[in-house]
Amino acid sequence: MAYQYPEYESLKFDRPADRILRITMERGKMNAMDFEFHHSIAEVWRHVEEDPDTSVAILTGAGRAFSAGGDFDLEEKVIAEFDWKARMWKDGRNLVLNMLNFSKPLVSAINGAAAGGGLAAAMLSDVTIMARSAKLADGHVRLGVAAGDHAAIIWPLLCGMARTKYYLMSGKALTAEEAERIGLITMCVDDDKLQETALEVALDLAQAAPSAIRWTKHALNNWMRMAWPVFETSLALEMLGFAGPEVREGLDAHLEKRPPAFNPSSPL
């Protein structure tokens, strides 16, 4: 590859076709995100932007998962230290900021479970293609924090407010078919067609007029830019939740594989 990308521990690059860059998330069995991974997925777009040989990017996951959420060690750090709260606030903000300002078309091929930062990256893609057997879930509330990493800025514009509230307030998972039906993703395809469909769409986009496409994308993203403070509120509230008792219980329950027993009272 002509353009010299940084070395990323958890992102692999290949070129399935001329002018198409495929970024594969790979870390452990479920591609769970530690900070280095999260930081990579927040920053990589500035590099793809500069890469003169890439017209369109594809984002996918290695193995059976797309990316199944945050790493527990990272969550422990965010609970424990203010500096980690601030760092994740900044990185979470940069992920959304950089993706919304990434000029080239991005196609996500959601091959398996998508949650956490991986889900954020998928939902902020321009075209989202999902394998029929895959599921996605924004499980923030199950962990015990507000849904703050991307959802507030884009879900209402994808699938409307009723569905947004239902899935975000419950943390329930969606099948690919349901996600397609409500407009949360672009399309659901059979598992064995996922990568080829993503590549076809990417090739179509790569052969089309690049400036016309980028300015079309760019102009549409102004909807999210105008609503930016809505996102920022959700992000700061998520981080504030990491200073509270619910995330402690949520994480413990998860690690101990038991149902959480949240204190039903809240000063809010």
Residue pair 41/3 in contact by the 8 Å Cβ criterion: no
- Cβ 139 to a second copy shortest distance, Å: 10
Residue of 154, 178, 166 lying closest to 100 (CA atoms) = 154
Q: Which is nearer to a second copy, 6 or 229 (CB)?
A: 229
Q: Which is nearer to a second copy, 7 or 263 (CB)?
A: 263
For residue 108, what are the β-bridge partners? Answer: 59, 128
Check binding of 162 to a second copy (CB under 8 A).
Answer: yes
* Residue choice 22, 39, 144, 202 for contact with a second copy (CB under 8 A): 144
Lateral strand order in the sheet of 114-115: 67-68, 114-115, 135-137, 173-175
Q: How many residues bind a second copy (CB under 8 A)?
A: 100
* Residue choice 69, 70, 105, 116 for contact with a second copy (CB under 8 A): 105
- Cβ 25 to a second copy shortest distance, Å: 21
Angstrom distance (rounded) from CA 36 to CA 244 = 25
Check binding of 47 to a second copy (CB under 8 A).
Answer: no
Check binding of 2 to a second copy (CB under 8 A).
Answer: no
* Residue choice 41, 147, 174, 251 for contact with a second copy (CB under 8 A): 147
Check binding of 101 to a second copy (CB under 8 A).
Answer: yes
Check binding of 249 to a second copy (CB under 8 A).
Answer: yes
The alpha helices in the chain, defined as continuous H runs, are: 35-50, 72-80, 82-100, 116-123, 140-143, 151-159, 161-170, 176-182, 194-207, 210-226, 228-241, 245-255
Residue span binding a second copy (CB under 8 A) among the ranges 1-9, 66-74, 145-153, 189-197: 145-153
Residue pair 55/20 in contact by the 8 Å Cβ criterion: yes
